[in-house]
Amino acid sequence: MIETSELTFTFDNKRIFTYPEIKCDKGQKLLIYGNSGRGKSTLLHLLAGILTPNHGHIIIDNVDITKLRFGNTDKYRGQKIGFIPQRLHLIHSLNVQDNILAACYFAKKKANKDRLYNITEELKITQLLDRKPQSLSLGEQQRVCIARAIINSPAVLLADEPTSSLDEKNTEKVMELLDRACHIDNTALIVVSHDERIKNSIHHQISLL
């Protein structure tokens, strides 16, 4: 479902990151781990089509996104890639429902209210749909971000350091939610993290040395 080859990226015109080959099929989970400064978040932004590599290929659902033009990359990202950032970016002027459905708007896809209900029921946030993000706990905001990331049935779900600021109990909850989200659409899930606690949750792993 997603695979890369010969991927490199130059950071600040000085440091060159060279990444190992990655392959993650439908329904499979992959953990990419390593200490800070190893280019984990940069790699995730490359896989999401937010950054462009200096060299190499990123193939998602049989399309090499490195060959797409800028506007087409944005459109393809909206349709095929779900992204959960390390910092939860929710629109405070919108309620939870509209925050989730915003992903449909930006991908130019029709909002599917039945799917919205099914996802929010699965993530146990249906009762929050009319509330604003600022009234939610951190855990509730994370669930909203997960719902937004999967509302368009992405082929690939990318999560950037999803447990870095959480205690043990909430770390387990978030990993359970990501696993559940992965199984809703048989989605390929890639998590980047330096959190040693989640290594037992994802058996397919790549270390960035």
Place of tokens 């951190």: 138
Q: Is the dihedral of CA 69, 73, 204, 41 positive or negative?
A: positive
**Cα dihedral value 90, 95, 97, 102, nearest 10:** -50
Domains of the chain as residue ranges with CATH: 2-207 (3.40.50.300)
Alpha helix (H) residue ranges in the chain: 40-47, 70-80, 96-106, 113-122, 138-150, 168-184
Residues paired with 206 in a beta bridge: 32
pLDDT in tens, 113-154: 999 999 999 888 999 999 999 999 988 898 899 899 999 999
Give the strand pairing for 55-60 and 2-11.
antiparallel
Q: What is the pTM of this model?
A: 0.90
Question: How far is residue 57's CA from residue 194's CA, in Å, rounded to a whole number?
Answer: 25
What confidence score (pLDDT) does residue 170 get?
A: 79
- The whole-number average pLDDT for the span 38-58 is 94
pLDDT in tens, 63-107: 999 999 877 888 899 889 999 988 888 999 999 999 999 999 988
